[in-house]
Amino acid sequence: MDVYLNITQIIVSVVLVLLVLLQVRELGSGLFSSAQATFHTRRGIEKTMFQFTIVLSVLFILISILSVKFT
User: What range does the domain containing 50 cover?
Assistant: 2-24+42-70
**Structural domain total, the chain:** 1
Cα–Cα nearest to 49, from 11, 26, 17, 23: 23
**Predicted pLDDT of residue 24:** 74
Helix (H, G, I), strand (E, B) or coil at 10: helix
Residue 34 forms part of a structural domain: no
Whole-structure pTM value: 0.75
Q: What is the helix (H) or strand (E) element at residue 28, kind and residue range?
A: none
> Tens of pLDDT along 12-65?
999 999 999 988 765 555 555 555 555 667 788 889 999 999 999 999 999 999
